[in-house]
Amino acid sequence: VEHVGQGDTPSLIPPKFPYFAPVATKVKNEDGWLYDPILPDPETWPILQLSRNREEFLKELVALSIANVKEELGNSPTNLKDELARTLYSERIRVTQTPWKADAVDEKEFWSSVKRDMVQIGTNHEQPQVEGHEELLERIVSRYADEIAGVFDPGAYEFAKGFTTTLFARLLNASQGKGLLRFFKMRANLHDKIHLVGHIEHIRLLAQKGTVVMVPTHFSNLDSMLIGWAIQSIGLPPFLYGAGLNLFGIKIMAWFMSRLGAYKVDRRKKNMLYLETLKAYSTLSLRKECNGLFFPGGTRSRSGMLEKRLKLGLLSTAMEAQRLNYLEDGAQAKKIFVVPVTINYNFVLEAQSLIDQHLKQSGQEQYYVENDDFSTSMKIFKFVWNFFTASSEIAVRFGRPMDLFGNKVDNEGVSLDPQGRAVDIRGYFESNGTITKDLQRDGEYTKMLGERIVQAYHREAVVMCSHVLAFVAFNIIKRKYKRMDLFGLMRLPAEDLIIPQEQLYQAVETLLPVLRTMRLNKQLKLEKVLKGGTLDEVIAKGMANMGVYHAKMPLMQNEDGDYQSEDIKLLFFYHNRTVGYDLHKYF
Amino acid sequence: MTSTNTSDKPTVGVVGAGAFGSAIANLLAENQPVILYTRLPEVYESVTATRNNRGRMIHENVRITLDLDDVASNCKLIYPILPSANFREKIQETGPVSPSDHVLIHGTKGVDVQLPRGEQLTASYKLNPKLVNTMTEVILQETIVRRVGCLAGPNLRPRSWPVNLPPRSLPANSMR
């Protein structure tokens, strides 16, 4: 048995909590660093059962969605009619103005037929209007349900799994020597490049006791593929996750995602009927013990910052599923556990377009640019190639699991209070001793959960040398041009972006002990070199990994030995990763 | 004082028998049975014997106790009416006996400051907002209770009210 993760030594378990499994220890088997699957037989995977009984599941889903929609509309036929009209209106605009490759071919016909029937219901006096509208509601919801629900194919999953690993490993091999010859030769270890660290054993135990919901940070479109691979690597059965429908327009992506248990989420559809169907899908699948994966940031972080505010829609479905579990399953009720995951990159392929969008919209997500750097299969291939051939690393850190109320849980899944005593969380859903449906109350719980997840992101983020250098360099430039606002800084010419070597060294030297103290106080995690390396090592590692992919470097060393940014926007993007720790006051 | 039929209503807890706590207990007692916690044996004895709490009368529907468990195990709705200076400490004591279906409504002004180990609050100390917590935040941090409310009101303690508290950890007005 050896400890994993160059980015992490096994953290000390606080003596108050003897219940937790040790952090990240694993056994090396013949395939390299891999965990044995906790459920070796795919027949026992809930996700497969869900897919097998798709028809039945869809029926249940449609029924639940319709019930929720009606309740939301106060069970009023007039409200239903208005909502249908609104949906029809927005959907017809969507179909004509933002068509996507991934859309069903009969999209136009479907909505035309809905329109025709809407008109007919209004003029037909023989059938009561309510019936007509309810029928229409069912038709629309059924269509949404069928679109959202994916199909899981264990054979294809096995193939995809092998394919990803082989592809990653082969590409990795190529980097170990010169040229393509090595591509087929060496057997390298993928886990040298992608570090899987954190509370892995604990999560594996909990996955056998209840349902696990992973909530990763989101910086790159590669995240979905990476997290799928990571989940499989730590021996968990596939997770159900939502992927943007736009990604299904890209062939490689569609191929992977439709087989690795993805369901489709269409961000263009903001109408209530769709959102209720999507939420019902998530609630039902969690109730059926399918582990889930949400990116609670909702979209990739445009600014490069860790998520500060989360989208609570899908998280609220976990709360709803937990309440229903307690209400309907009594003593056998399964618990749902939340695992914050941070994905820590040295560089993000899409950084350039992300930060451009961020600057244009100043943080507001008003439109979505479909054509960014990830839009073609070739570019993805190029990225994967560059990632493995450049000496860059990714750390996927699985944070400490918690229950839906932010309480710690022990290995058995029992919730613990801050003093480490076992508590029953059923009471959260009770008023005067009985479980009640109270959407406002549960909404508040979800909001609090969101805050706990954000706190965990900051605590569990692995700060890398390149992040520190970007942070330091940007702050030095910012201080030099104190009077300029952000947009002024962004327009500075390259010759004004030179930082004397000594100044950079000094600033990093000031920051290092601060970061190390913060790590000891459990406020953040550090990459190995940052934890114990010398100043020279930190700077060398940071520079080696600094935006390796980009055509223009966020930071590079020039002939005089000084540091220079070729693209301050990129520098700003990577700098943003470590804002939120109050580090700027050290400049 | 008129007594209403309160036997079928759930008992409500009040933690802290200061001026505000006593007032809250008396108001609640108009409608339902109340358990009032005090940490002072002399207050307990005085109220038990004469219903007099340092010059104020306590409603007959109020039962006074020296046992926090008594409050926690008999009440779902609890009003911690404590001074901010030892609020965290008292909440840590109630924590273990607070199950997830409790509702806490505190009536405490002021803030809680958690300084890093070894540091002391002086006039020139630069406070970081992360070190300062409201009482609601203290409850959320120290217990598993998530349904937390806050009750605000006027300052009820007269100048003559005997103060029997540990010295305040914060100099007055240091929080401006």
Q: Which tens digit of pLDDT belongs to each residue from A575-586?
A: 999 998 989 888
Does the pLDDT at position A116 exceed 90? yes
Does the pLDDT at position A185 exceed 60? no
* Interatomic CA distance for residues A331 and A413, integer angstroms: 14
Which amino acid belongs to residue B23?
A
* Interatomic CA distance for residues A488 and A333, integer angstroms: 57
Which pLDDT score is estimated for B147? 93
pLDDT mean over A164-169: 65
Structure tokens that stand for A361 in this block? 């919209």
Does the pLDDT at position A332 exceed 60? yes
Q: What value, to the nearest 5°, has the Cα angle with vertex A24 and ends A23 and A26?
A: 135
* Interatomic CA distance for residues A353 and A420, integer angstroms: 46
Within 8 A of A425 by CB-CB distance, chain B residues are: 100, 144
* Interatomic CA distance for residues A291 and A230, integer angstroms: 14
How near does any CA of chain A get to the CA of B50, in Å? 34
Within 13 Å and on the Cβ side, how many CA atoms surround A143?
Answer: 17
Does the pLDDT at position B169 exceed 90? no
Closest by CA to A575, choosing from A411, A463, A441, A455, is A463
Task: Provide the mean pLDDT of chain A.
Answer: 83
Between A121-125, A422-426, A465-469, A520-524, the lowest mean confidence (pLDDT) is in A121-125
Within 8 A of A448 by CB-CB distance, chain B residues are: 140, 146
For the beta carbon of residue B115, count every other beta carbon within 10 angstroms: 13
> Closest to A425 (Cβ–Cβ): which among B96, B100, B141?
B100
Does the pLDDT at position A354 exceed 90? no
Which pLDDT score is estimated for A189? 59
Which pLDDT score is estimated for A380? 62
Bridge pairing between strands B77-80 and B103-106: parallel
Banded pLDDT at B160 (limits 50, 70, 90): low
**pLDDT per position as a tens digit, A405-452:** 999 999 999 999 888 888 899 999 998 889 999 999 999 999 999 999
Q: Greater confidence, A169 or B11?
A: B11
How near does any CA of chain A get to the CA of B159, in Å? 38
Banded pLDDT at A200 (limits 50, 70, 90): very high
Q: Which residue of B has its CA nearest to A581?
A: B130
**pLDDT per position as a tens digit, B8-61:** 789 999 999 998 999 999 999 999 999 999 999 999 999 999 999 988 899 999
Task: Provide the mean pLDDT of chain B.
Answer: 83
Does the pLDDT at position A169 exceed 90? no
Of A20-29, A85-94, B72-81, B112-121, the range with the highest mean pLDDT is A85-94
Q: What is the CA radius of gyration of chain B?
A: 17
> Closest to B146 (Cβ–Cβ): which among A431, A432, A448?
A448
3-class state of residue A335 by DSSP:
coil
Q: Greater confidence, A33 or A516?
A: A516
**pLDDT per position as a tens digit, A221-270:** 778 778 888 888 888 988 988 877 877 877 776 776 766 677 888 989 99
CB contact under 8 A, B96 and A419: yes
Does the pLDDT at position A550 exceed 70? yes
Percent of chain A residues topping a pLDDT of 70: 82
Does the pLDDT at position A7 exceed 50? no
Give me the residue label for tokens 């109408």: A271
CB contact under 8 A, B141 and A407: no
Does the pLDDT at position A192 exceed 90? no
> Closest to B99 (Cβ–Cβ): which among A418, A424, A444?
A424
Which pLDDT score is estimated for A14? 39
Within 8 A of B101 by CB-CB distance, chain A residues are: 426-428, 430-431, 433
CB contact under 8 A, A433 and B101: yes
**Dihedral over alpha carbons A302, A300, A213, A163 (to 10 degrees):** -140
CB contact under 8 A, A423 and B100: yes
CB contact under 8 A, B92 and A423: no
Which pLDDT score is estimated for A186? 37
Closest by CA to A198, choosing from A10, A33, A15, A32, is A10
Does the pLDDT at position B5 exceed 60? no
Banded pLDDT at A217 (limits 50, 70, 90): very high
SS (H, E, C) A127-159: CCHHHHHHHHHHHHHHHHHHHHCCCCCHHHHHH
Structure tokens that stand for A273 in this block? 């009927």
Q: Which residue of A has its CA nearest to B139?
A: A418
DSSP category for residue A197: E
Does the pLDDT at position A503 exceed 50? yes
The ipTM estimated for the assembled molecules is 0.77
Cβ atoms of A459 and A524 closer than 8 Å: yes
Closest by CA to A199, choosing from A217, A212, A218, A190, is A212
Within 8 A of B134 by CB-CB distance, chain A residues are: none
Q: Greater confidence, A337 or A258?
A: A337
Residues contacting residue A480 through CB under 8 Å, at least 6 positions apart: none
